[in-house]
Structure 1
């Protein structure tokens, strides 16, 4: 057996298993219905080589990330009907594309850590002609996202990064003093008031970081994995319930059952506010866990022209500013912050993104197969054991 590099998260036995849970699943049925309604909406105009040919465009994206509102006028101008399927877990995407008869998808998203698995192993990604995405240039895109190895290698673009953010602590300021470190979660007054969310992209890197293994993740040894989960004991003792989804976490905050959640999506306060409960998103001393989504063109694409146009418009400054506000996310377009309201712009330090990346690096997933490092399946088993303790 040989080690396989980071970013290949699934063994053959679990290709269809829903282990990686959505950080955004809490957005709920209303958004899913909204995406369905948007299926009758249409795409808008774009310049030059990214021009659309009309017709229907089948996409697959996370809830709230289908660009329904942001690209409404653009869709209507081009008479392109968007049929949006919603991702609950990343597994949902490749489950539709593997095998001899892949389901038609013109565009879909992948999260960091899945790129080599999708491109090299499953071979479900169509390389991009970057000239057909004229907005994706060094003049428009932050260098941290332009031609980075998560989306670009062998002089080939395989995906277009378009939205990112940080998973970190969220707490209710009415129930606890300000939290500035994960150690603060161990305060006696928080006994029974902490929870974890079943989002492995958000939690696993932080579990490693709290064990002093952050820079090594996702390549830590089997013994280090054991040590890391043993270190969760004090945090587990602070919990009474487990958040099976982001929706559960929102409900637990809304009902007053919890005061804090261990590493969850930054959009959580937006949702709790809708239920009349103020929560605060904070990046503690230990940092946060970065995520980034990218659009890719599956091998089953049919409406190539509209797919390129959609990606091109998704990274315009205007669309970026609007979607960043809607999902409490970050923009990849350098010019988007100038169009943001103060609260959205203040989410991240756009003037010093290298420091943001240094403190909260974009990390992949554990290796699929390794004699040296804990594999994805071993991480999954440790996480399952942890959940079963609740």
Structure 2
């Protein structure tokens, strides 16, 4: 007997009716560990509830979310109450959560916190140990899955920002048992090269189990031992791994990791144009400065030309000569006037000049001027000087025409 052929939609609607009709599934209480938690901008919460053997998708709408005091996070153990319903369009089923009660921290998340605290005490995450990311790398090594969304996102950013940037892909498993060893081995191989400037470790988002290979101590030590700066772009904004704390720079996504390491060609072009403009301004300023120095030097040369100096010195000599002649003339005139004044004064005080007025000077043998009769009587010899000459007489000789006045 041939069964009825159903369309996909018919089958999914049939399954939905069965699930909706089940009394238990309409009101279930399920305990598990949250992973892959996302708080959507619409206000709805999306997460996976898991245990050791299985997982189921859950959604909590905004009106139920408003009842929560604290939002859950990856690794939390919770007990949820809600209903199981099928999603016809996607062919999946999930729990629509009405209530969520926290039961504590999940085992993996607790282990993550222990590792993080231990490495932090060792100083592995100190900011002082982080190396700067080169602004213009020649080659960037990317450790990621060759088929994952992360490498596609990085290449997309590459084409947008800098198509000429060189990427060297190191394909590894980014999830599973061999992932940790492959990533550490890739880091070691890259550090043997001399032409790599930056390393990107990238993978898409996932649960704490999916990202667990990036939460090991060995991974953290390998990243810190790298001599080449390491940028991590693991998961989404809310995902943090031990590798992120150990890295020199943590990006929220693989795309952001590419944006932080691949220089923007247009930014570089703008920087080049700006430097070119600044260089032109500096050159013009230097040329103006050198021109000013040249003008000053030419002026100095002209001022210190030997011919100019000689002419100036000759003029100085001529000026000094003229000033000296003028000074001599002034001095001679002044001395002549002094001589004339002295001559006039000497002439005024010359006793012989009074002889022109009829006076006479009588002197004894000692050339003393005789002013009284008694001094005349005492003289043995006397000399009489008049205007046109003098006559000498001995005592006792009669003076012709001279009478001696007596009292």
Report the TM-score, using the length of structure 1 for normalisation.
0.25
Higher gyration radius (CA): 2
Greater strand share, structure number: 2
Greater helix share, structure number: 2
Report the TM-score, using the length of structure 2 for normalisation.
0.25
